[in-house]
Structure 1
């Protein structure tokens, strides 16, 4: 049996880890997983020591306000793994939580893997050395990330992103629209305000006001969204009723990929969902708000020109990104209208997205699983 300690901090990490665990099961057989897990890992039989929600905090100010709570969770998890050492510990993203835990576990002789490089190309480049000190193996999602670790004493493998393998090269927009009962004769705009509560709270009103303004100008629009749970769905519907009664919007829970596949374009918060939307070949507008303190700190710290993954991967401004005070209808409505009315621009973007998708495809989960098994082969029983 392969014993794996795991920490995931958000739904995309849970999905990433689930793909890795399934590949490990296929290659090795029985795999025991325990740690901070989400629902996808729980479905695979993982033992939840702490729920994933314990780490679902965004922004510098937000993390600072929960610092003692996060330290307590990390210390309790560390002592658990020291008493019950796994063959390998894998931290999925969440670098501010995972790297210190990985370092301390590694010092005790436990093999450690960090899966998903921190955004060292955007800010806090000093974390390159922290990663090298904390992990025996680094698995990156994108080829350009490997160069930042050259010269460091850490094995680095680009495994690609599993979404590029999971999502077909050609989206089934019409089929998905029929499945979800969406109107075939309307322009469908997906509204995706984020998977975390803080993201939802900051984005929901400006996104709905933007949708309302778009609909006031064009009655041929229909809106769709997918939220992660009933509470967020209720919040979304209540906000629509308060700020935009009569807005034609269909809402779901837990089917964000189907919703994105069904749409013509999307208004969304930054994060992995921008990559998913790119792979589904959908034009998009990115809008992102955070606490005022986090915003001004990050403005000073971030060196990257872009935050959205499509722009970072292309190293050009493919899709518009707006932040903080620009996340309002006056800015977002014209950006969405551009993709609606400039068909050539939208088609050119889809073509670029297609080419990027082809280049990204590889057997991610199998590559990652083989690397993990190679690392811990001497520990296997």
Structure 2
């Protein structure tokens, strides 16, 4: 009779190449470690993964690169790390390799490991539905099992022949279904009757570089319409805070009164009447907090010329992509100028029926993304390890 005991994994290898992947992988580890208490978890990761007992062989920061063109001078170093880790894992033969996002690095590594018979899991699915759809050919060769965080992605990968599991979006678990706006305002020292605008030009230095002047310029124009408006801006770290202040001064906008926060992005969103946010995961956070928003993004002109031809759909903001329509405005590159941003934000602040409709749409969106992602992703990995 065949034994029903679960095979013990002697090691599980993971790679995260940037902070968002570090958080994602840490969540998976929190669900996987109780199922594999004796396993060694190692590879490349950040502080959140290491807090789960993960062993990182290289500092994650050596992999973190912002922008298409920034990778060029770093290519040899990053490729050298990839080759060294590949050789180590081929010799060790872990029970599974898990790539946490960072597809440029992880898919190439996964392809080589899968060719050698090592099962591979990728978490989260690259956004082939948004751009670079040809990447599916590489995914088919590289990935034994895909974990996705949006419900509509499951069918896309399944149709392509890639085994897939929808595990929910971790952010949907972190954000309460009914945010505490009053409590957030108390925490930030804001009056309960204030009109509060949160501005989020980005956590990356490159995002700050291109978005700050336009975002703060929009705040100045909004203040000209309503002097009672209060502005808050969460900063990802001290470097970002100092750079933000430097950019504001360079633009001659230091007279715009903005309450800068050390982190506390969720509190800043919860306290807001509306949010001006850079496109990316932060826009999904705003939607989960059921807040009106304007999504904006600016980048290096050369990168914009490359990327603007690659998109497959009319939306770039995650709330609009999930809704399959423009439920909130998107202003990109030259269109993301202070006057246009201020006008769009004014409409978000003043249109009460629209605010109520958005809250209902975003509540439905929240429910659709809500799962126990740690448990769901860990169980999917276990099925791969056990060959099911």
For the superposition of Structure 1 and Structure 2, which TM-score range results when normalised by the shorter chain? over 0.9
Tell me which residue corresponds to 1:245: 254
Q: Secondary structure, in 3 states, of the residue corresponding to 2:121?
A: strand
Residue 70 (structure 1) aligned to one of 53, 78, 82: 78
Tell me which residue corresponds to 1:230: 238
1:272-311: CA deviations, max 9, x gaps? 1111111111111111112222211212221111111110
Return 368-377 or 27-36, whichever deviates more. Answer: 27-36
Residue 270 (structure 1) aligned to one of 279, 294, 299: 279
Tell me which residue corresponds to 1:318: 327
1:122 aligns with 2:130: yes
Distance of 2:208 and 2:43 partners within structure 1: 26
Query: Given the superposition, is the C-alpha separation of residues 72 and 289 from structure 1 closer, same or farther in structure 2, using an over 3 Å criterion?
Result: farther
Tell me which residue corresponds to 1:369: 378
Residue 179 (structure 1) aligned to one of 184, 187, 196: 187
Distance of 1:261 and 1:230 partners within structure 2: 22
The Cα of 1:33 is off from its aligned counterpart by 2.8
Q: Secondary structure, in 3 states, of the residue corresponding to 2:294?
A: strand
Residue 346 (structure 2) aligned to one of 337, 347, 358: 337
Structure 1 gaps, min length 5:
none
Tell me which residue corresponds to 1:358: 367
The alignment's TM-score, normalised by the length of structure 2, stands at: 0.91
Distance of 1:372 and 1:100 partners within structure 2: 20
Query: Given the superposition, is the C-alpha separation of residues 216 and 53 from structure 1 closer, same or farther in structure 2, using an over 3 Å criterion?
Result: farther
The Cα of 1:234 is off from its aligned counterpart by 1.4
Name whichever structure is richer in helix by fraction. 1
Tell me which residue corresponds to 2:5: none
Distance of 1:309 and 1:356 partners within structure 2: 11
- Larger Rg, first or second structure (1 or 2): 2
The Cα of 1:248 is off from its aligned counterpart by 2.5
Query: Given the superposition, is the C-alpha separation of residues 183 and 235 from structure 1 closer, same or farther in structure 2, using an over 3 Å criterion?
Result: farther
1:16 aligns with 2:24: yes
Q: Does the 8 Å contact 2:199/2:233 carry over to 1?
A: yes
Return 150-159 or 96-105, whichever deviates more. Answer: 150-159
What is the correspondence of 1:1-381 to structure 2 with a 5 Å cutoff? Answer: 2=9, 3-242=11-250, 243-377=252-386
The alignment's TM-score, normalised by the length of structure 1, stands at: 0.93
| Alpha-carbon RMSD | 2.1
Q: Does the 8 Å contact 1:57/1:196 carry over to 2?
A: no
Q: Does the 8 Å contact 1:61/1:291 carry over to 2?
A: no
Distance of 2:353 and 2:375 partners within structure 1: 38
Q: Does the 8 Å contact 2:151/2:368 carry over to 1?
A: no
The Cα of 1:236 is off from its aligned counterpart by 1.7
Q: Secondary structure, in 3 states, of the residue corresponding to 1:89?
A: strand
The Cα of 1:241 is off from its aligned counterpart by 4.5
Query: Given the superposition, is the C-alpha separation of residues 182 and 27 from structure 1 closer, same or farther in structure 2, using an over 3 Å criterion?
Result: farther
Distance of 1:33 and 1:219 partners within structure 2: 54
Query: Given the superposition, is the C-alpha separation of residues 291 and 76 from structure 1 closer, same or farther in structure 2, using an over 3 Å criterion?
Result: farther
The Cα of 1:203 is off from its aligned counterpart by 1.2
Query: Given the superposition, is the C-alpha separation of residues 256 and 113 from structure 1 closer, same or farther in structure 2, using an over 3 Å criterion?
Result: same
Q: Secondary structure, in 3 states, of the residue corresponding to 1:28?
A: coil
Distance of 1:313 and 1:189 partners within structure 2: 24
Q: Does the 8 Å contact 1:33/1:46 carry over to 2?
A: yes
Q: Does the 8 Å contact 1:24/1:31 carry over to 2?
A: no
Query: Given the superposition, is the C-alpha separation of residues 314 and 105 from structure 1 closer, same or farther in structure 2, using an over 3 Å criterion?
Result: same
Query: Given the superposition, is the C-alpha separation of residues 240 and 133 from structure 1 closer, same or farther in structure 2, using an over 3 Å criterion?
Result: same
1:22-54: CA deviations, max 9, x gaps? 111233334533233122112223223233333
